[in-house]
């Protein structure tokens, strides 16, 4: 009996992922379980040999590592490999502080760790979030000298200004409510949302932004309201809110400009990542890069500002 003829194997098409100097960084400022993504200076050593779009089911959760801790292994990055100041310069405000604290918590290089905390401390003094400033100072814990302790004089001055600002906003909003001026009421709630966001009071900011919904008089106002809610919801890790308001913004009767479309797709991709729907996240990211040119390292909150 002759040998059975071997059936030819059909190779499935592959798509190589090209890694350039523009790495994909999707990050979150405040998550109870942060996604463990590589730092921007650590691209994978080899290209992927499969097409993410062809994956039929979502990837299962990775099993615990061999060391029993259940943590993914992280590659230590030295300061020589990574220009920390250039990376931080891509962000501003709360987002810059959040990125620097993330790097300080993940890097394996003590000089980089201290530099990240130093930059985060200096940036915290430019804002109005005294709680964030105290958190950064606590993480430094005197390792950078007495200059990088809690600045009590700055904190007291910021708190006094915030109290006066809140009283003024409250008085203005009450006047708008009395006169029943819808546009003024909407702007008053927006101002309150901006105030609470700058102070780090994210839950109060979210409430203020959502309250503008009843006072939106045109599609542009609806999109602005959705973008504000999406921004805060990402920081809070409330990804159902993100998905819902992305859909609401996309369903406005008027055409949305390309920049806003790109922002909404970025937000949807972040929401899918946060809920472990990696195939859908990959599709959103692919649609974003193919339809609109954006700088991917600024994918996080900066693109929503």
- CB-neighbour burial class of residue 156 (10 A; exposed 0-12, middle 13-18, buried 19+): exposed
SS3 readout for the chain? CCCCCCCCCCCCCCCCCCCCCCCCCCCCCCCCCCCCCCCCCCCCCCCCCCCHHHCCCCCCCCCCCCCCCCCCCCCCCCHHHCCHHHHHCCCCHHHHHHHHHHHHHHCCCHHHHHHHHHHHHHHHCCCCCHHHHHHHHHHHCCCCCHHHCCCHHHHHHHHHHHHHHHHHHHHHHHHHHHHCCHHHHHHHHHHHHHHHHHCCCHHHHHHHHHHHHHHCCCHHHHHHHHHHHHHHHHHHCCHHHHHHHHHHHHCCCCCCCHHHHHHHHHHHHHHHHHCCCHHHHHHHHHHHHHHCCCCHHHCCHHHHC
DSSP H or E run through 40: none
| CB of 219 closer than 8 Å to CB of 252 | yes
The pLDDT of residue 181? 87
Domain borders along the chain are 160-217, 218-304
Q: Which of 75, 68, 32 is nearest to 238 (CA)?
A: 32
Note down pLDDT in tens along the chain; length 305 residues.
444 444 444 444 443 333 334 333 333 333 333 333 333 333 333 333 333 333 334 333 444 444 444 444 444 455 556 788 888 899 988 889 999 999 988 887 888 889 999 999 999 999 999 999 999 999 998 888 889 999 999 999 999 999 999 999 999 999 998 888 899 999 999 999 999 999 999 999 999 999 999 999 899 999 999 999 999 999 999 999 999 999 999 988 877 888 898 899 999 999 999 989 988 888 887 766 554 444 333 434 444 44
DSSP H or E run through 303: none
> Cα 215 to chain center, whole Å?
28
| CB of 211 closer than 8 Å to CB of 189 | yes
The pLDDT of residue 42? 38
The pLDDT of residue 74? 46
pTM, rounded to two decimals: 0.68
């Amino acid at each position: 009996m002759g040998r059975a003829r071997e059936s030819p194997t059909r190779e499935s098409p592959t798509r190589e992922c090209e890694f350039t100097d523009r790495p994909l960084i999707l990050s979150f400022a405040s998550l109870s379980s942060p996604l463990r993504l590589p730092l921007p200076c650590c691209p994978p050593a080899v290209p992927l040999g499969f097409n993410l779009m062809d994956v039929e089911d979502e990837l299962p959760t990775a099993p615990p590592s061999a060391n029993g801790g259940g943590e993914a292994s992280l590659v230590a990055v030295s300061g020589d490999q990574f220009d920390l100041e250039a990376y931080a310069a891509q962000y501003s405000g709360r987002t810059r502080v959040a990125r620097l604290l993330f790097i300080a918590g993940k890097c394996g290089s003590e000089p980089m760790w201290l530099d990240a905390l130093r930059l985060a401390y200096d940036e915290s003094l430019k804002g109005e979030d005294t709680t964030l400033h105290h958190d950064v100072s606590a993480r430094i814990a005197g390792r950078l000298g007495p200059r990088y302790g809690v600045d009590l004089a700055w904190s007291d001055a910021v708190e006094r200004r915030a109290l006066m600002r809140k009283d003024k906003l409250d008085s203005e909003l009450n006047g708008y409510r009395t006169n029943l001026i819808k546009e003024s009421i909407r702007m008053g709630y927006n101002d309150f949302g901006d105030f609470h966001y700058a102070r780090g009071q994210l839950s109060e900011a979210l409430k203020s932004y959502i309250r503008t919904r009843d006072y939106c008089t045109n599609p542009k106002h609806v999109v602005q309201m959705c973008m504000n809610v999406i921004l805060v919801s990402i920081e809070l890790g409330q990804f159902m809110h993100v998905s819902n308001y992305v859909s609401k913004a996309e369903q406005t009767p008027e055409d949305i400009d390309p920049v806003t479309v790109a922002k909404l797709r970025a937000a949807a991709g972040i929401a899918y990542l946060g809920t472990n729907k990696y195939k859908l996240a990959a599709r959103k990211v692919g649609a974003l890069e193919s339809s609109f040119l954006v700088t991917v390292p600024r994918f996080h909150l900066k693109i929503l500002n």
